[in-house]
Amino acid sequence: MITLQQYWRGRDKTHGHLLTPELRANAQRTVDVANELLPLAQAGGVMLTPGQWGMVRSGWRPPDINAGTKGASATSLHMQCLALDAEDPYGLLAAWCFANWRTVLKDLGLWMEHPTATPTWCHVQLRAQGSFAKTGLRYFYP
């Protein structure tokens, strides 16, 4: 289970003045849907690595944190608490999500970054972005 605490990664303390009710609600939705996704992946054969797999690598990124994050998009949904990076050291979760984007991701209302862009984590988000919004695909290249 991913917790809100893990999603904040202490930033609710360091950047609490930026946390609006909307951001808090978004974060709860993101954590809730991640907690639906992870058991499905496990049931689908993705092996759990305790302490690593499924843990939050990146949750909320306040603008200054996002700006200092290597490779982060300037419009990243991490800033709106609508994205989550799960630890995925062997790419198994991302591969499974990608193999099931037409069903699982669609059912859960998720989009993901293509696994080739996320070798040791899995990025999922609750909204489509940019030109990919019109494609109907549930994955995109950052």
Distance, CA of 68 to CA of 127 (rounded, Å): 23
**Closest C-alpha to 140, from 115, 103, 104:** 115
Give 62's contacts (C-beta < 8 A, 6+ positions apart): 11, 15, 18, 79
Residue 81: Cβ-neighbour burial (10 angstroms; 0-12, 13-18, 19+):
buried
Distance, CA of 80 to CA of 117 (rounded, Å): 21
Considering only 61, 80, 82, 85, the residue that binds Zn ion (CB under 5 A) is 85
Options 4-12, 37-45, 94-102, 115-123: segment touching Zn ion (CB under 5 A) = 115-123
Q: Which is nearer to Zn ion, 17 or 70 (CB)?
A: 70
Decide if residue 138 touches Zn ion (CB under 5 A): no
Rounded to a whole number of angstroms, the minimum distance from the CB of residue 79 to Zn ion is 11
Rounded to a whole number of angstroms, the minimum distance from the CB of residue 73 to Zn ion is 9
Q: x/- contact string, 27-66, with Zn ion (CB under 5 A)?
A: ----------------------------------------
Options 17-25, 40-48, 83-91, 134-142: segment touching Zn ion (CB under 5 A) = 83-91
Considering only 30, 97, 123, 138, the residue that binds Zn ion (CB under 5 A) is 123
Distance, CA of 32 to CA of 105 (rounded, Å): 14
Q: Helix, strand, or coil here: 113?
A: strand
Residue closest to Zn ion, measured at CB: 123
**Which stretches of the chain bind Zn ion, using CB under 5 A?**
85, 123
